[in-house]
Structure 1
Amino acid sequence: MISIVLLCGYAPQAHNRNYYEMRGEAMWEVATDEQLIAFTFDDGPNANMTPLILDLLKEYEAKATFFVVGNRIDKNVDIIRRQADEGHEVANHTFSHVFFNGNQSLQAIDNEILQTKHKIEEVTGQDSPWFRPPGGYINDTVISSARKHGYTVTLWSWHQDTNDWRSPGVDAIVKKVLNNAHNGDIVLMHDNVRGSTQTYRALKIILPELKARGFRFVTISDLVKSKRSNEAHQGDVGE
C-alpha cells in the first residue's frame, strides 16, 4: 500500500513517484548490483514481539531498520537502546502514527516528526536520516517538513509490501517476500501487530532461505551506500 495524496480543493500538492525519486526527496528501493535487502519494521516497539524479532535478526547476522512511533518509546526504552546497540537503525515514523492524508499544516507535521526525532536522540544519542509517514501518505508538505529536519522520506518496494498488519497468514507473508526478492529491495513489515505472531514466524522461514540464496540483510543507510555509481547522481538520496 502506498498513497500519494492527490491535489483536490485545498489539499496539499502532490506528484508521482518518479518526481520525488528524481529529486532525491523520497525512495522506494535502491538500484544496486549487490545482493542486499533492507528489512524494515513499522509501528513498534512492542514489548513482546520486537525482542523476538531482534533475537532472530541476531541469529542470521541481519541488520534492519525500525521505524518507531514516538509515543511508544518511553515505555520501551530498553528495546530502543538494544536496537541501536546491536547495529540496527532506529528511524522516525511520527509521534502518534497520524496519516497525513488531509490538510495537516506544516507545523502539525513538524511537531509529529520533531517529537519522535528528539525522543530517538534522547535514548540512543543519534538519529537516522530516514522518515516514513504512516500509510505511505506523501505530498509536498510532508516532503518539505521531512527535508527541513534532515530526513529523506523512505517508503518500500511496491512488490515487497507484506501486508502483515492484516495478518494474512504466515504462508502469504513468506511467499510475498521470497517470490519477489531482488537486489536493493526495501521490505515492509511490522513489529507491532496486535495479537499476531505471523511476522515473526514468517521471518523464521524467510531469513534462512534468503541467506541461502546469497542475500545479506542491511540497514537503509548501508543499502543506500551500495547504490550503483551511475545512479548515485540522481537526487543525492540521504546524503
Structure 2
Amino acid sequence: MLMAIAAAGAGLLAGGAPELTRMSEPAAPSKRQARHALKAARHPLRDPGYAHGPLHALRRPVHNLHDLTPAAPANAIALTIDDGPHPRWTPMMLDLLAEFQVPATFSLIGVQVAELPKLVERIVAAGHQVCDHTVTHPLNLPHLSSSQIREEIGGAHDRIAHTAGVAPQFFRSPGGAWSAEIMDTATAHGMICVDWEVDPRDWARPGRIAITDRMLRARGGDILLCHDGGGDRSETIQALRTVIPALQRRGLTFVAL
C-alpha cells in the first residue's frame, strides 16, 4: 500500500492529501546524488528531499490520527485494542463495541489468530480494522535477528490475511519498541507503523477508575490504546463502558484506523 502511494507521489488518502513536491536539485546531479536518488526511490518515506507534508509523519510510527488521515474530522478519535484475540475478553469487547456502535482496530497476535480463527472472522465481519502485532509478541523485537524480525512481522501478516480474508494495513510493535529495521520490514509488507497517544496502562490492571480517568483525557485526533488479551481484562471492559459514552457526549467520534 505504502509503496503504491509513494510511487504515485500522492498523499495517503484519495481526495485528502496534496501531492508531494521535491525540493530543488542541481540540473546535472553527480554520481553520488544519482545513487541517493535511487535509494530514495526505494525508501521514499525516509528521503529528506521530500517537503513537509502528510507523509512526513510516517518517518516515525504514527501517534495521531491526523498524521495518518489529514482529512479526518477534528473530533475523530481511534480506539485500538491489542494482544488478542482472546476466547473470553474479545467476545465481550466486541459486544461492548456493538452496543455503542464503535468501530475499532484490533492488533492481533499471530499464534492466537491461528488458535481462534472464528473470532478473527467475527472482528472483520463486525466492520473493525485488523493490525499486525507480530506472531509471538516479543517485547525485545528490535534486538532479534533480521530473520526473526521478518518472521515475526511477515508471519503474522500472512496468518491474519489468510484467516481474516483481508491483509492488515497497519503494524504495531509490541510495547511500542521500534527500530529502523522493524519499520522497513513492516513497510515492505505494505503496512503503516502505528503507536498511540493515550495509554491508560490497562495491561498493568491499575483499576477501573485509573483506566477511566486516563482515557477521559482523550482529545480529537488521539489514538487510544487498550487491550483484550494478555491477562484479565475485566477492568478494561468496565472502564470502556463509562469512557465510550462519556467521550461521545463530548462530541468525539470513534473511527477505525
Q: Same fold (TM over 0.5)?
A: yes
The amino acid that maps onto 1:79 is L
The amino acid that maps onto 1:200 is I
Aligned-pair identity in percent equals: 32
State the distance in 2 between where 1:185 and 1:209 align: 15
State the distance in 2 between where 1:129 and 1:213 align: 30
The amino acid that maps onto 2:240 is L
State the distance in 1 between where 2:170 and 2:255 align: 14
For the pair shown, the structure with the greater C-alpha radius of gyration is 2
Counterpart of 1:184 in structure 2 is 221
Secondary structure in structure 2 of the residue aligned to 1:204 = helix
How much does 1:195 deviate? 2.9
How much does 1:144 deviate? 1.1
Counterpart of 1:63 in structure 2 is 103
What aligned pairs does 1:1-239 form with structure 2 within 5 A after superposition? 22=56, 24-25=58-59, 26-31=61-66, 33-100=73-140, 102-157=142-197, 160-178=198-216, 180-220=217-257
State the distance in 1 between where 2:83 and 2:252 align: 25
How much does 1:123 deviate? 1.2
Kindly indicate whether the alpha-carbon contact (under 8 Å) linking 2:186 and 2:193 is maintained by their aligned counterparts in 1. Answer: yes
State the distance in 2 between where 1:133 and 1:162 align: 17
Secondary structure in structure 2 of the residue aligned to 1:39 = strand
Secondary structure in structure 2 of the residue aligned to 1:156 = coil
Compare relative contact order (CA 8 Å, sep 6+) and give the higher one, 1 or 2. 1
Structure with greater proportional helix content: 2
**Unpaired runs of at least 5, structure 2:** 1-54, 67-71
State the distance in 2 between where 1:143 and 1:219 align: 21
State the distance in 1 between where 2:142 and 2:123 align: 33
Deviates more, 1:206-215 or 1:95-104: 95-104
Secondary structure in structure 2 of the residue aligned to 1:66 = strand
State the distance in 2 between where 1:30 and 1:23 align: 11
How much does 1:102 deviate? 4.9
Q: How many residues align?
A: 199
Cα RMSD between the aligned structures?
1.8
State the distance in 2 between where 1:101 and 1:47 align: 26
**Unpaired runs of at least 5, structure 1:** 1-20, 221-239
Kindly indicate whether the alpha-carbon contact (under 8 Å) linking 1:100 and 1:142 is maintained by their aligned counterparts in 2. Answer: no
Q: TM-score, normalised by structure 2?
A: 0.73
State the distance in 2 between where 1:23 and 1:217 align: 21
How much does 1:35 deviate? 1.2
How much does 1:136 deviate? 0.5
The amino acid that maps onto 1:168 is P
